[in-house]
Amino acid sequence: MAEESKPTEEREEETPAAMDSPAEGEEKVETKGKEVSLRNRQAVWGWVRVGLLVMLLGVTGALVALRWACQPVSLTAAPRLVTIPPGASLSKIAHQLEREGLIRRAWIFIHLAKRQGKAASLQAGQYELSPHLTPQEILDRLTAGEVAVRWITFPEGFTLRQMAERWEQEGFGPAAEYLRWATERASEFGVKGLPVGQTLEGYLFPDTYRLPVGASARDLIALQVKRFEEVYADLVKTAQPRLSRHEIVALASLVEREARTERDRPLIAGVLYNRLERHWRLECDASVLYALGEHKSRVLYRDLRVDSPYNTYRYAGLPPGPIANPGRASLAAALHPAKTEALYYVARPDGSHVFSRTLAEHRRAIAEIRR
């Protein structure tokens, strides 16, 4: 029996050695938990880093896309005319610009306009835009109304028919359109003192004009009449007119077509006033050419027989209206004529004139010039 109990004792002794104490077990569990928590945190931080990297790439990509969209489409493409219709929305304009290859993306144009409070400030018209402009530069032009413009110049002394021809030659429109507004519809421009039935001859101020592309003949004529009114109003301030405004413009047109030098303008005006006071015929060659409807280097004796109220060789006094469109210098001469006793003048080959008080002096001057 003693021997049988021995294994039991051994087992009893072995049992404590095979088992951990409660404290040691708790310590192992805690260690394992820490290891799991650490791995979890590392995994989370890994995903966070991936997320941050994705976000960084996204932001970088967005910035690159934004920068790309803000750049010009091309640095070499030619400018083109673009018509922005009245009432067009911001979205419609942006997509039109994209379709026409002027901006890379419509959304960047919309974004810029809204961010700057310009969405409702885009102006209709024809614009000359180039693909080498940035979306911001195009936006600035459309909000400022910097429409495409063209220039046209009319020399002093041009008749309205010559102006109509130049209007057509410069590619603005048909001459007939200009003539219709300057003749048949002359009364619509409100010219002061214009007799009923008169054209705008004389009131279409010769100058250089800046016109938006697509401007009509009416638009140009309105500018010319406005400019005439400004110039005349300035000149008349210091004048004491002896004639009506329409008569002064007619006399100024004669001066414009007769004179070739600045010095001669007031002297020719003085001669014309002297002859008017004596009720003489003015006998201006330029009026004969206007009556003939053609330009000639020399007026022949047979030309003087043309029956027209504009022929100042046949009819005394001023013609019924201007024969050309005078510039500022000729209008000034008509309003401020030189004080002279001369009643005649004849042109030298260089365009200047010899002035005479008597017919005998005048004939001698003619003979001298023809010699």
pLDDT by position in tens, the chain (length 371): 444 444 444 444 444 444 555 556 666 656 666 666 767 776 677 676 766 766 766 566 555 666 777 788 887 778 888 999 999 999 999 999 999 999 989 999 999 999 999 999 999 999 989 999 999 999 999 999 989 889 999 999 999 999 999 999 999 999 999 999 999 999 999 999 999 999 999 999 999 999 998 899 999 999 999 999 999 999 999 999 999 999 999 999 999 999 999 999 999 999 999 999 999 999 999 999 999 987 777 787 788 888 999 999 999 999 999 999 999 999 999 999 999 999 999 999 998 999 999 999 999 999 999 88
Question: What is the rounded CA–CA span in Å between residue 266 and residue 272?
Answer: 10
Q: Name the token pair of 287.
A: 């009026």
DSSP state of 317: S
Q: How many CB atoms lie within 10 A of CB 239?
A: 15
What DSSP string describes 31-68?
Answer: HHHHHHHHHHHHHHHHHHHHHHHHHHHHHHHHHHHHHH
Domains, the chain: 80-147 (3.30.1490.480), 150-235 (no CATH), 240-370 (no CATH)
- In this prediction, residue 5 carries a pLDDT of 46
- In this prediction, residue 299 carries a pLDDT of 80
- In this prediction, residue 59 carries a pLDDT of 61
Question: What is the rounded CA–CA span in Å between residue 140 and residue 158?
Answer: 39
Q: Name the token pair of 1.
A: 């029996």
- In this prediction, residue 58 carries a pLDDT of 59
Amino acid letter for position 139: L
Nearest to 316 by CA among 274, 281, 284, 271: 281
